[in-house]
Structure formats: C-alpha cells, structure tokens
Amino acid sequence: MLKKLNKRTNLIALTFVIFIIWMLFFDENSFLTHRELNKEIEKVQKTNLYFKNEIKKDQKTIKDLQNTDSLEKFGREHYLMKKKNEEIFIIETDSIQ
C-alpha cells in the first residue's frame, strides 16, 4: 500500500512540475510573454511622459508668443528673420580652447 501511495505521490508531483514548466515557458500567457509585455508597457509609459512634457513646453511657448515682442524675438533667434534695410551678423564662438 505504501508503494502505491508513493507511486501516486510521484505521479502527482511529476504532473505538477510539468504543469509549472508548461505555464512558465510554453503557454500563450507564459511568464516570458508577460515579462516582454511589461517591458513594452514601461517603454510606452516613458514615451507618454516625454510627450506630455513636450506638450507642456509647447503650450508655454505658444503662450509666450502671444506677445508681439516675444514673437519678433523668437523669429529673429530661430529663423534668422530681419527687418527691411537691416543686416544680421551671426557670431559663432569656438568652444574648443
């Protein structure tokens, strides 16, 4: 009787081990798949945070550009715009010393 019980226990343990291995590696919803999906979720959340920060910066820039003087300064600095009969000299500094 003890031998029968021992065989039954070994069979149950073996079945359990096979089930765990199957669930961890081979199943459609395996641990490896979940790990990859979690990494992808983290990547998307970081991207989302980056774009939210960029939106805040752009909204601040738009708000600042409502003023005519700020708009003129922005155009001069970023697009090298100028008034008629005006010359612009671009001075580049050498950062290597």
**Residue pLDDT, tens place only, 32-81:** 888 999 999 999 999 999 999 999 999 998 998 898 888 888 888 888 77
Q: Does residue 91 form part of some domain?
A: no
In which domain, by residue range, is 14 found? 2-79
- Mean pLDDT, residues 20-39 taken together: 84
Q: Does residue 71 form part of some domain?
A: yes
Q: Does residue 33 form part of some domain?
A: yes
Q: Does residue 18 form part of some domain?
A: yes
Three-state SS at 28: coil
Q: Does residue 96 form part of some domain?
A: no
The number of domains in the chain is 1
Q: Does residue 40 form part of some domain?
A: yes
CB 76 within 8 A of CB 82: yes
Q: Does residue 84 form part of some domain?
A: no
Q: Does residue 13 form part of some domain?
A: yes
Q: Which amino acid is at 37?
A: L
pLDDT greater at residue 4 or residue 82: 82
pLDDT greater at residue 50 or residue 21: 50
CB 25 within 8 A of CB 31: yes
Residues sharing a CB contact under 8 Å with residue 38, sequence separation 6 or more, in sequence order: none
How much is the pTM? Answer: 0.56
Three-state SS at 51: helix
Distance (Å, whole) CA 55 – CA 64: 14
